[in-house]
Chains A and B, each alone.
Chain A
Amino acid sequence: METVLFNLIWFLPLLAVLVCVPIPSTQIKTIKTIHVATESLILLLVGYLVYSMYTASGTPANSAAAPLLLHYFTDIPWLSMFNAHYIVGADALNILLLFLTAVIVWTGILVSWNIKGNQKVYFALIQLLATSVYGVFMSFDLVLFFVFYEMEALCMYLMIAGYGSGRKDYGGKKLTLTLALGSSMILATLFGFYFEGGIQSWSIVELSKVTLPMDFQMWAFPLLFMGFAVSSSLFPFHFWSPDGHSAAPTAVSMLAAGVMMKMGAYGCLRVAMFLMPEAAKIWLPYVVLLLIFNVVVGPFIAIRHKDLKYITAYSSISHLGLIFLGLAALTPVGLRGATLQMISHGFLTGLFFATIGMIYERTHTRDITQMGGIMRKMPFLGVGFVIAGFAGLGLPGFSGFIAESTIFIGAFSCESTWVRIVTILAILSITTTAVYILQTANRMLHGEMPAKYESLTDGSFREKLVIVILVLCLLFIGIFPTWISEFLDQSIAPIFENISRANITAIGG
Chain B
Amino acid sequence: MTNELLFSYLILFLPLLAFVVNGLFLGQKSAKGAAAMGIIGNGIGAISAVLLAVSYLTSNVAPQKAVLFEFSFLPFKAISENLSGNIGFLVDPLSVMMLVVVTFISTLVNIYSVGYMRHDRSAGRFFALLSLFTFSMLGLVVATNLFQMFIFWELVGISSYMLIGFWYHKPSAVSASKQAFILTRFADSFFLMGIVLVSYVVGSFDFSTINALSMAPFYQETINIGIATVSKASALVLGSILIFVGGWGKSAMFPMHIWLPNAMEGPTPVSSIIHSATMVVAGVYLVARLFPFFAICENTLNLIMVVGAFTMVFAAVIACTQKDIKRILAYSTLSQLGYMMFSLGVCKIDSVVAVTGYTASTFHIFTHAFFKCSLFLIAGSVIHVVHTNDLDKMGGLGAKMPWTYWCALISILAISGVPPFSGFFSKDEILLAAFQGQHYIVFALALLTSGLTTFYMFRFFFLIFHGDSRSEHVRGHKIKEDFAMTLPIVVLALPAFLSGFMAKGLFAKFSVPSSLNIPQLVSLPEAKWIPFAAIGMAVVAFCTAWLFYASPKATIPAKMQQTLDETNRCGLYKLIYRKFYFDEMYYIFVRQFIFAGVARVCRFVQDYIIEGIVAFVVWFVHRLGDLVRYAQGGSLPFYLGTLIIGLLLWRFFGQLPL
Contact = CB atoms under 8 A, between A and B. Distances in A.
A99 interface: no
A447 B171 contact: yes
Interface string B162-205: 00010011010011001001100110110011001101100000
A332 B224 contact: no
A41 interface: no
Contacts of B186: 431
B72 to A, nearest CB: 6
B155 A300 contact: no
Contact of B610 (A239, A394, A408, A409): A239
A394 B181 CA distance: 13
A145 interface: no
Given A303-B595, A305-B603, A413 B79 contact: yes
A17 interface: no
B606 interface: yes
Contacts of A442: 165, 174-175, 178
B165 to A, nearest CB: 7
A485 B77 CA distance: 11
A139 B76 CA distance: 30
A324 B76 CA distance: 19
Interface stretch (A3-11, A244-252, A257-265, A397-405): A397-405
Contacts of B594: 303, 435
Contacts of A421: 226-227
B598 interface: yes
Contact of A485 (B74, B152, B155, B611): B74
Given A421-B227, A431-B189, A446 B600 contact: no
B74 A304 contact: no
Most chain B CB atoms below 10 A, which of A239, A394, A434, A481: A434
A408 B192 contact: yes
Given A397-B155, A408-B196, A402 B603 contact: no
Contacts of A301: 599, 602-603, 606
A389 to B, nearest CB: 10
Interface in B195-239: 196-197, 199-200, 224-227
Interface stretch (A206-214, A268-276, A422-430): A422-430
- Contact-size category for A: 35 or more
B580 to A, nearest CB: 24
A450 interface: no
Interface string B574-618: 000000000000000000001100111011011000110010000
Contacts of B224: 415, 417, 420
B181 A373 contact: no
A366 to B, nearest CB: 17
A304 B599 CA distance: 6
Contact of A446 (B74, B169, B181, B182): B169
Contacts of B152: 396
B151 interface: yes
Contacts of B74: 402, 405-406, 481-482, 485
A300 B603 contact: yes
Contacts of A336: 78
A390 interface: yes
B599 to A, nearest CB: 4
B163 to A, nearest CB: 14
Interface string B94-111: 000000000000000000
A30 interface: no
A183 B512 CA distance: 65
A369 to B, nearest CB: 14
A485 B76 CA distance: 9
B76 A406 contact: yes
A423 B196 contact: yes
Contact of B168 (A174, A412, A446): A446
A42 to B, nearest CB: 30
Nearest to A416: B224
Nearest to A434: B185
Contacts of A375: 168
Contact of A412 (B78, B174, B197): B197
B598 A300 contact: yes
A409 B76 contact: yes
Contacts of A373: 168-169
Given A300-B598, A395-B155, A401-B151, A445 B193 contact: no
Contacts of B317: none
Nearest to B199: A409
A376 B196 CA distance: 40
A397 B605 CA distance: 35
Contact of A430 (B155, B185, B611): B185
B75 interface: yes
A373 B154 CA distance: 26
Contacts of A409: 76, 79, 83, 196, 199-200
B226 A417 contact: yes
A190 B316 CA distance: 70
A236 interface: yes
A331 interface: yes
B196 A427 contact: yes
Contacts of A174: 614
A481 to B, nearest CB: 5
Contacts of B600: 304
A448 B72 contact: no
Contacts of A429: 189
A154 interface: no
A396 B155 contact: yes
A111 interface: no
A9 B276 CA distance: 56
B101 to A, nearest CB: 23
**Residue with the highest number of chain A CB atoms closer than 10 Å, among B78, B151, B181:** B78
B168 A427 contact: no
A409 B196 CA distance: 6
Central interface residue in A390, A412, A429, by most chain B CB within 10 Å: A412
A297 B152 CA distance: 29
A434 B181 CA distance: 8
A305 B595 CA distance: 11
Contacts of A485: 74-75
A200 B151 CA distance: 51
Nearest to A419: B226
A354 B186 CA distance: 29
Q: Which of B75, B182, B189, B600 gathers the greatest number of chain A CB atoms within 10 Å? A: B189
B158 interface: yes
B603 A431 contact: no
Contacts of A489: 78
B226 A331 contact: no
B73 interface: yes
A387 B231 CA distance: 42
A83 interface: no
B154 A395 contact: yes
A93 interface: no
A401 B606 CA distance: 28
Nearest to B203: A413
Contacts of A408: 192, 196
A497 B426 CA distance: 58
B151 A396 contact: yes
Contacts of A304: 595, 599-600, 602-603
A431 B594 CA distance: 12
Contacts of A376: 169
Nearest to B194: A427
A412 B195 CA distance: 11
Contacts of B611: 239
A427 B182 contact: no
20 contacts: A297-B605, A300-B599, A331-B79, A332-B78, A333-B79, A394-B154, A396-B155, A405-B150, A409-B79, A409-B200, A412-B200, A421-B226, A423-B226, A430-B189, A431-B189, A435-B594, A449-B169, A482-B72, A482-B73, A482-B75
Given A332-B78, A446-B165, A447-B168, 4 more contacts: A239-B610, A333-B78, A336-B78, A410-B76
**Lowest 9 CB-CB distances: which A-B pairs, in order?**
A420-B226, A332-B78, A300-B602, A446-B168, A396-B151, A304-B603, A303-B599, A300-B599, A421-B226
